[in-house]
């Protein structure tokens, strides 16, 4: 199984867990950062929504970039 399919399967499991516990991910706040020169830049989905791709992300006041 390719790495893309493994990661997509894990995202789907997280969604199933959240629904079972009557929680919901805010897809508008979820993004994917593709890191690495050999990355194929695959697109991922959370439920019926495609996750947005980003080059930078701020987390706990620290900016992280894919380069």
**If pLDDT is split at 50, 70 and 90, which confidence band does 67 have?**
confident
Domains in the chain, number: 1
First to last CA, the chain: 27
Distance (Å, whole) CA 46 – CA 28:
10
Per the structure, the complete domain to which residue 52 belongs is given by 3-65
Q: pLDDT per residue over 2-61, tens digit each?
A: 888 999 999 999 999 999 999 999 999 999 998 887 778 889 999 899 999 999 999 999
Q: Is the pTM of this model over 0.85?
A: no
Q: What is the pLDDT of residue 63?
A: 95
Round to whole Å and give the CA distance between 24 and 21. Answer: 9
* pLDDT above 80 for 1: no
Residue 35's pLDDT is: 86
């Amino acid at each position: 199984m390719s790495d893309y399919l493994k990661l997509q399967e894990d995202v789907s499991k997280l969604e199933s867990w959240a629904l079972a516990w009557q929680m919901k991910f805010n897809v508008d706040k979820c993004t994917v950062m593709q890191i690495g020169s050999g990355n194929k830049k695959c697109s991922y989905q959370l439920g019926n929504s495609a996750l947005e791709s980003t080059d930078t992300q701020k987390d706990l006041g620290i900016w992280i970039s894919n380069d």
